[in-house]
Structure 1
């Protein structure tokens, strides 16, 4: 489990000192809950993100254990290091917006016909309670030929998970190579 420290001060000097010590600055927030200003060790945070199997993962800040989802992160434009992350509390029964990853499987028929597989959307925005949240959208692309695509409206939508994207947007497709 990822462990972090609560930041006593949110001043610029304190933030800079924490970053120099190898910490990643984070904010944890949710509906009806006071914001928690915290910091995590950068390497521990990256390891946790790479090894997690679902969108929701536990963190321990101070004496609290919280279930959170990465909502947004900011990268340094020069070094590409993560400098700040916003974590949304996954509160049971409360509907929020989440970005669910897209996973593709299979080899498209169109690749043999001089086509190229193009993944247009890596994440799909959905509105759901955390207990109904899918881990990912798995799309089988083995039947796609050149010019074929899978649109948002082709994805399975349940009564508890609502897709917020434009239904006519392509998620994945096979285009003709130049």
Structure 2
């Protein structure tokens, strides 16, 4: 899979005050968790946005360059955004070590247009990311599902996802990833919502 480079800085201070000062300077507070120990970092907001554009919705191993003599491979594990400004407030990275099993969240990409949707059905994409465990060299950038043969009433479950070398999916096998619902169901739901809203307004 592709690898990307992101320059980061060591962050000595912690706490809300320090985090506010970092954000005011265009930095995002971050933490990396892993076998080499947890570390507090700071990431330039501009650099992180550029990285996300390069990654473009895929899972990627990122080389965090701390200084001239130290780099750590990592995955973006979780991000927090400000609900009002949508700016990043915090980033959690997960260290990736060659030869060590890791757990990662992988995006689910849909391919094609289902027969059921063409006939008026409603596409319901229930799960946008799946959790997997594998060795770092086997981390997929995404999982692609062909939905072109899905008819009304059909569904793709976790157990139906494509087999990927060295990758094991975590979760219940019957978990629904994507399905096509009946048009009448969508109409009933809209009617019920309208009725509930009218009752609430009285």
**Structure 1 length normalisation: TM-score?**
0.92
Deviations 1:5-33 (A, max 9, x none): 111222433222111101011111212x1
1:36 match: 39
Q: Which runs of 5+ in 2 are unaligned?
A: 188-202
Alpha-carbon distance in structure 2 between the residues aligned to 1:171 and 1:46: 29
2:199 match: none
Among candidates 46, 58, 63, match of residue 58 of structure 1 = 63
Once the 2 structures are TM-superposed, how far is the Cα of residue 158 of structure 1 from its aligned partner?
5.1
Q: What secondary structure is seen at the aligned counterpart in 2 of 1:34?
A: coil
1:71 match: 77
Once the 2 structures are TM-superposed, how far is the Cα of residue 65 of structure 1 from its aligned partner?
2.1
**Structure 2 length normalisation: TM-score?**
0.81
CA contact (8 A) 2:158 2:172 kept: yes
Alpha-carbon distance in structure 1 between the residues aligned to 2:150 and 2:18: 53
Task: Give the number of the structure whose alpha-carbon radius of gyration is greater.
Answer: 2
Alpha-carbon distance in structure 1 between the residues aligned to 2:130 and 2:44: 29
Larger strand fraction of residues? 1
Once the 2 structures are TM-superposed, how far is the Cα of residue 79 of structure 1 from its aligned partner?
2.3
2:6 match: 2
2:25 match: 21
CA contact (8 A) 2:138 2:165 kept: no
Q: What secondary structure is seen at the aligned counterpart in 2 of 1:78?
A: coil
Compute the RMSD of aligned alpha carbons: 1.6
2:123 match: 117
Alpha-carbon distance in structure 1 between the residues aligned to 2:73 and 2:110: 27
Alpha-carbon distance in structure 2 between the residues aligned to 1:135 and 1:159: 13
Matched residue count: 177
Alpha-carbon distance in structure 2 between the residues aligned to 1:158 and 1:106: 20
CA contact (8 A) 2:59 2:75 kept: no
Larger helix fraction of residues? 2
